[in-house]
Structure 1
Amino acid sequence: MRSAKWPRSTCSCRISTTPPAASSMQAPLTRRSIRKGRFTIAARHHITIAEIYESEMVDVEKAIAHYEQAADYYKGEDSKSSANKCLVKVGFYSAQLEQYQKAIEIYEQVGTNCMDDPLMKHNAKEHFFKAALCHFIVDELNAKLALEKYEGMFPAFSDSRECKLLKKLLEAHEEQNSEAFTEAVKEFDSISRIDQWLTTMLLRIKKTIQEDVGDMK
């Protein structure tokens, strides 16, 4: 049974003020596509610009803005799957930047969208799970209420490993038991590998246990 590795939490959000040439070239193409009513093409241009900010500039906030714009264009074309992919990126980076309310709204929106799509329904649990984690970082009670809400909206969520992990983490947090928290994470990781984003969120939650214990001393 593998043990969960807890790599050091990192979030490189360096801001650059000099736009890359590729991004500058994409902007006129985007405007031209919009004028011609080719919103799907315009959305793709915004995704390209977002990816440039991700990789070349590491400018997360600008990448978020372009993914949001791409999602809007896809929604206008009723391309829900493509819009969801862009919104997931927005939620991912918003949480990293500690913009938790925005991330929650995005993940709830995408989770609800997935519930209504037979082909994407199985993905809803992942988005509700991430929304609940963002709630958890902000406030334990919020996380409990959100979990009840998601179980009511999507009964299949109750039987998921993600939901069971959340309940164990909430119990460990309520008892201020960091060891039980870590064991729950290790158990989950032994079956479903925990990625860097999830590791970062879990470490932020675990830190609140340590802070609360310190406050009581």
Structure 2
Amino acid sequence: MLKVWTTPLKKKKLWLSWQRPKRKGSSKMEDACDMYGRAANMFKMAKNWSAAGNAFSQAALLHLQMQNKHDAATNFIDAGNAFKKADPQEAINCLNRAIEIYTDMGRFTIAAKHHITIAEIYETELVDIDKAIAHYEQAADYYKGEESISSANKCLLKVASYAAQLEQYPKAIEIYEQVGTHAMDSTLLKYSAKEYFFKAALCHFCVDMLNAKLALQKYEEMFPAFSDSRECKLVKKLLDAYEEQNVDAYTDSVKEYDTISRLDQWLTTMLLRIKKTMQEDDSDLR
């Protein structure tokens, strides 16, 4: 006859596993999770977003107690998506809980994705640009760590855009130059490099005209194709107009560029800031 147990300890463990009934507490918690999930979906159908968010959050907490980290994170995300429609700050709280779980599990790419979601809530709902920047930077760090350079650069460009608007020009310049250098070495991204060097040059221009002139020379040496771009030619015209303190020539150059390449809000803001410094310098001379 075949012997099943080789040691008394193994015999005891196997006997216990056959005899021990399923833990009632665990079963009850699983049932409760299912009920919270069903309730959350019912609330979603009724467009009762706060109640849906609360139900998903309760399910997430129960999953955490049962050490079901993946399910807990998923439910926190569902809660965050529901709260986005009713309570943006609570949505952020839930998304942060999910991020903590994902980073603990080593899933940095998905954590980065949810940092972006939080940044977008700060942008559009809570209008806290400093916090939006912080979350875009964290997302970029996680993407870099996972070698997702393209995704990291998308986040960094958002940071640069806001940094320039907040007059944090050195920070914006560093990012635009970094992303531009990466783009010019890529066959697929080479065309977009001129845009980043153009924006970096305008940030320099907002600080000092001589800075812009030196930066433009550097970008042309680094990326010869930039010299033939409309963006580079515009900056040169603006530099000439600035040196001559010719506001009309500056305005005409911007209008000419705008007829072919429409200026977005960011470019319009930067160009108006430079023009304002020209007008202030002109009034000082009188």
> TM above 0.5, one fold?
yes
Residue 215 of structure 1: how far off its partner (Å): 1.1
Per the alignment, residue 148 of structure 2 pairs with 79
What is the distance in 1 between the residues matched to 2:167 and 2:88? 25
Partner of 1:144: 213
Whole-Å Cα distance in 2 between the matches of residues 114 and 209 of structure 1?
Answer: 32
Shift of 1:121: 1.1
Could you give the per-residue CA deviations for residues 59-113 of structure 1, whole angstroms, max 9, x where no partner exists? 1010001000101111111111111110100000000001011110111111111
How far residue 116 of structure 1 moved from its aligned partner, in angstroms, is: 2.1
- For this pair of structures, how many residues does the alignment match? 200
Q: 1:180 aligns with which of 234, 249, 255?
A: 249
> Which runs of 4 or more aligned residues in structure 1 lie more than 2 Å from their structure 2 counterparts after TM superposition?
none
**Which residue of the partner structure matches residue 125 of structure 1?**
194
Partner of 1:159: 228
| Equivalent pair of 2:163/2:172 in contact (CA under 8 Å) | yes
Displacement of 1:166: 0.2
Contact 2:88-2:121 at 8 Å conserved across structures: no
The residue aligned with 1:110 is 179
Q: Which residue of 2 aligns with 1:201?
A: 270
Gaps spanning 5+ residues in structure 1: where?
1-17
What is the rounded CA distance, in whole Å, between the counterparts of 2:222 and 2:88 in structure 1? 43
Paired with 2:192 and 2:232, the residues of 1 have a C-alpha distance of 13
Distance (whole Å) between structure 2 residues aligned to residue 185 and residue 44 of structure 1: 37
1:7-35 deviations in whole A, cap 9, x for unaligned?
Answer: xxxxxxxxxxx971111111011111111
Structure 2: tracts of 5 or more residues without a match: 1-86
Aligned to 1:168: 237
Name the one with the larger helix percent: 2
CA-atom RMSD, angstroms?
1.1
Whether contact under 8 Å (2:109, 2:142) holds in the other structure is yes
Counterpart of 1:216 in structure 2: which amino acid? Answer: L
CA-to-aligned-CA distance 1:23-55 (integer Å, 9 cap, x gap): 111101111111111111010010000000001
